[in-house]
Structure 1
């Protein structure tokens, strides 16, 4: 069963520009060192156009949302950014023992590479930023991975709960935020089989699949528990939950129940709000 979390009351923290700059430099260069000098991690870099025969997990998310006080062009640019990023990872083959690093494959999103100013979540509000909107890609891949035997090696939770639950198809806190390059999504293949990641930017949705050379012998159901909304002493609201998954064989016999993560996020909307923001 799910593991009870320890309650957190995370007041938003404001740090100086100097401290933020030094911290970013340190963690950025530490990541570069890990990518290019680490002997303990083998990063995936092989691609194949032909799809693997067996689909093991799939998901899609809408490219456009009705968001209050957010210009449409930010979402249009997000789609441009997604197309550029997807071109760097579509068809990736994840061999046994290898690790998928999203940022290592996509690279730094810059204007010189064609990336545009998309929607970036910063300190509880939306601001334009080059490469903005790529969290939709990391969210999709993370959610699909939870329905496979692949191991999530690195995932960062969102610090803010952005959207009300209207039309939400996944539990709160089931995404993965990314910031180049030190806040990454990394997935390791701990199985003896080869996997393939397929991503497509469709007309209305971002579409993804994990495929495999062999059919899976297990099924997974991801669920939340211990959901709680709290009003904090500093004036805002926070949302908490635990994400777990049940494991079944192909005859729907339950084989296990695994803790995945716990979430604590500052809410960007009133708790009783159900529509778009």
Structure 2
């Protein structure tokens, strides 16, 4: 009922967003969390490198919005590039980037809002959040806050990561946060080329483990006349010296409505109900 009211009455939605933003700012003022702010070193031991295409075919969306997204990503990446997460510190996506406004140079881009694909200033920053989250999964950093999109808006187009392995962000209460529980310092580096958003995550000392991420139990389903997509994301911890797997964990469970025509040859499995575990709740708001 709350979601329906917020969608039907925009003034209520805006008031709720404003309330959540104030609540987030107030919580962040409380003692107990040391946020990462320093860029004082170049960590020499690279744990993970990754890149993502800047321009992909996203349904029937205006290609100009892809170019606008590149502008937004360039501005936001510069605010995060070089950040060091020292022992006991917490990385916060929005505390580093700040509110993406036109006055700061951000322009219209694609974002997901209230279950729909829309446009808005600063749209497209989820691609940066996706990259940071994927790299963080290859470190011992603890993910303390991560949100996911509530639906699958576009068919796969040169997708290299498993479905549902990204992160949704919306200033400032839908954040992406990592905590450093170790005695090492970690650092993110980010840059753009003509074709890619690129990044690395490094450590100031060699870390004894590496991490392998894999998708399991992926399937398309049909329930009550609608198509859905489901999978699980697992992480294996591997000893760098011996190559032996020393542990594994299920880190994400995804179940989302598909908002596009399924590719030819994919026949969804008809189901009456689906058991979904450990899917993070989506707070009222949007995701770029």
Whether these two folds match at TM > 0.5 is: yes
Residue-by-residue CA offset, 1:97-133 (whole Å, 9 max, x unaligned) = 0000000110001001110011112345432210000
Moved more, 221-230 or 186-195: 221-230
Of 12, 27, 30, which residue of structure 2 is paired with 1:34? 27
Is the contact made by 1:55 and 1:209 (CA closer than 8 Å) also made in structure 2?
A: yes
Alignment match, 2:234: 244
Residue-by-residue CA offset, 1:207-227 (whole Å, 9 max, x unaligned) = 011111111211111112232
Is the contact made by 2:45 and 2:203 (CA closer than 8 Å) also made in structure 1?
A: yes
Displacement of 1:149 in angstroms is 0.6
Task: Give the unaligned 5+ runs of structure 2.
Answer: 266-288
- Alpha-carbon distance between aligned partners in 1 of 2:249 and 2:256, rounded to the nearest angstrom: 22
- Alpha-carbon distance between aligned partners in 2 of 1:33 and 1:240, rounded to the nearest angstrom: 36
Is the contact made by 1:164 and 1:273 (CA closer than 8 Å) also made in structure 2?
A: no
Alignment match, 1:82: 73
Of 141, 147, 155, which residue of structure 2 is paired with 1:156? 147
Q: Residue 167 of structure 2: SS of its match in structure 1? A: coil
Displacement of 1:167 in angstroms is 2.3
Alignment match, 1:198: 189
Of 204, 209, 231, which residue of structure 1 is paired with 2:200? 209
- Alpha-carbon distance between aligned partners in 1 of 2:159 and 2:63, rounded to the nearest angstrom: 20
Residue-by-residue CA offset, 1:198-249 (whole Å, 9 max, x unaligned) = 011111000011111111211111112232322221x321111221101110
Alignment match, 2:89: 98
Mark the CA change 1:273 to 1:62 in structure 2 (over 3 Å): closer, same or farther: farther
Of 31, 39, 55, which residue of structure 2 is paired with 1:47? 39
Task: Give the unaligned 5+ runs of structure 1.
Answer: 1-11
Mark the CA change 1:120 to 1:273 in structure 2 (over 3 Å): closer, same or farther: farther
Displacement of 1:165 in angstroms is 3.4
Kindly report the root-mean-square deviation, in angstroms, between the aligned alpha carbons of the 2 structures.
1.8
- Compute the TM-score of the two structures, normalised by the length of structure 1: 0.89
Is the contact made by 1:70 and 1:126 (CA closer than 8 Å) also made in structure 2?
A: no
Is the contact made by 1:196 and 1:210 (CA closer than 8 Å) also made in structure 2?
A: yes
Q: Residue 14 of structure 2: SS of its match in structure 1? A: helix
- Alpha-carbon distance between aligned partners in 2 of 1:241 and 1:68, rounded to the nearest angstrom: 22
Alignment match, 2:117: 126
Q: Residue 240 of structure 1: SS of its match in structure 2? A: strand
Alignment match, 2:276: none
- The answer to whether 1:22 aligns with 2:20 is no
- Compute the TM-score of the two structures, normalised by the length of structure 2: 0.85
Of 50, 60, 71, which residue of structure 2 is paired with 1:59? 50
Alignment match, 2:255: 264
Mark the CA change 1:20 to 1:52 in structure 2 (over 3 Å): closer, same or farther: same
Mark the CA change 1:24 to 1:273 in structure 2 (over 3 Å): closer, same or farther: farther
Mark the CA change 1:75 to 1:165 in structure 2 (over 3 Å): closer, same or farther: closer
Is the contact made by 2:57 and 2:157 (CA closer than 8 Å) also made in structure 1?
A: no
- Alpha-carbon distance between aligned partners in 2 of 1:176 and 1:273, rounded to the nearest angstrom: 28
